Chains A and B, each alone.
Chain A
Amino acid sequence: MEKSIESVVARYAVRLYIRCMAEAGGSGGGSGLTELVLRERHEALGARFAPFAGWELPLQYGGIVGEHEAVRERVGVFDVSHLARAWVEGPQAASLLRSVTTFDVTTLPVGKAHYSLYCNAAGGIEDDVFIYHLPGDRWLVIHNAANADKDFERVQAVAGDAASEVTPETVMLAVQGPAAVTLLSSVLGKGFAALEPRDCAELDWNGTPVLVARTGYTGEDGGECIVGADRAADLWDALTGGGATPAGLGARDTLRLEAALPLHGNDIDETTHPFESGLGFAVSLDDEAPFTGREALAALKAEPRTRRLAHVVAQERGVLRSGYAVHAADGGEAVARLTSGAFSPSLRIGIGMAYLPAQLASPGVNLTVDVRGRALPVEVVRRPFYRKPRQS
């Protein structure tokens, strides 16, 4: 067990980020990993770090399952400062952004955030993004870390000087869980308490501007905060002091997978299109406005699906992992490979996603996954894997 033990953390990190790094063109390679502004806070909490898309991020603190459960049952805080943040400003900002993203952001009211995609001319997904519409014709776009450079180039190509990156000067914290809104309201005040889901706003926190949105990537309620690097430690301390459990990249991955939220570079990429990956809601074709990929996406939408991103749950003990082959129940050639897989801490069973041939991508279909030589039975289920209990 010697070699694997000594490299477990590194191996996990490789699994998570290997494809992202390939796309990032090796930025941050070698010893040039970017450290988080709050690095000392994470170290003091006993974080174990792993490389991810050019950053060195906390993989876990106490343990992935405990952090996962804290977010499902109470509230957790993630340092997600690796997510790239770019502004596009001015009266033309909405139409400029519309020309590079699939969602019609010109319909997005002030104070609202929305999920969207960057597609290529063939309709393949180059990244998935969140766009915030703030007062004063100011738009903030959140990009995946692995795609940060090419995403910013995409925006800058149409917006020129109206686009600016703010990633290094700010810290982004995601506060997630059933108690997250209460905690954020007590820390940030009435301004946060007034927000509805997917609202965004710039609040004054003891004289410091904090940009907040009621968004997240865990399937839980909560919010994400962007604050200047100089006040970031104070905000982190207020959140953890208020009861938020620090949570790392490991729990972020199991939480988002339980919520069936795709990870770019794993579940969606240039070779997949929004209608087969369940992201058609992020594509607006009703307006006449041109945007990159529009013609291809219109054609793809009209075609019958040949495959769909499907969700499978193990029927026996065992862990599904990215890359494992999926077979029909009676064996034969592999029909797909898992794009994501994990042990679900909430369901206590293996879960995964794969692009299955359309005739197999229906709930109730039985398949097997090759788990290192063992044919593990799985069943296709409706997404998400985990749905939070209804509040009574």
Chain B
Amino acid sequence: MTTIPDDLRYTSDHEWLRRNEDSPDEAVIGITDFAQDQLGDVVYLDLPAEGDEISAGERFGEIESVKTVSDLYAPISGEVLAANGELEEQPELVNDSPYDEGWLIRVRISDESELDDLLDADAYGAQLPAS
């Protein structure tokens, strides 16, 4: 069973976004449990650096598993505040903890209206293939 937490927003490209409760213009981005399961063992990530700009719907990095490589697409536009440095040594955190320790980047949101384009958990779950 794939896990889809209720408190996150999603893209149909299988990224998630969590707003920071204390500073709502900040958000953390990762890939979903479904995505990590489909990719298999993650072994390498190419993530943007602090200060880089990302744009909603555009490629912001890539994620590579033993069996394949896949592009990462930004759920929203913004400035990168940090990338998860733990993943350099432990890329498997994306598999083990996709919604927590396996987060990818933290960003400052530049256009809040883009959040309206994201899916809630029910809508995201509804568009996954039945298994």
Contact = CB atoms under 8 A, between A and B. Distances in A.
Interface of A: 1-2, 4-6, 8-9, 11-12, 59-60, 63-66, 250, 254, 317-319, 321, 342-343, 345, 348, 372
Given A1-B15, A9-B38, A65 B68 contact: no
A250 B70 contact: no
Nearest to B39: A8
Contacts of B38: 5-6, 8-9
A66 B15 CA distance: 25
Contact of B68 (A2, A11, A345): A11
B40 interface: yes
A319 B40 contact: no
A9 B68 CA distance: 8
Given A8-B68, A343-B66, A318 B44 contact: yes
B3 interface: no
Contact of B41 (A2, A9, A65, A372): A65
Given A2-B13, A5-B13, A5-B35, A60 B40 contact: yes
Nearest to A316: B44
A317 B90 CA distance: 12
A319 B43 contact: yes
B66 A250 contact: yes
Contacts of A64: 40-41, 66-67
Interface string B97-126: 000000000000000000000000000000
B20 interface: no
Interface residues of B, number: 28
Interface in B61-75: 62, 64-73
B interface, over-half SS:
mixed
A5 B70 contact: yes
B88 interface: yes
B92 to A, nearest CB: 8
B12 interface: yes
Nearest to B88: A317
B41 A12 contact: no
B80 interface: no
Given A317-B88, A319-B43, A319-B44, A1 B66 contact: no
B31 interface: yes
A63 B40 contact: yes
B66 A4 contact: no
A9 B65 CA distance: 11
Contact of B14 (A2, A60, A66, A342): A2
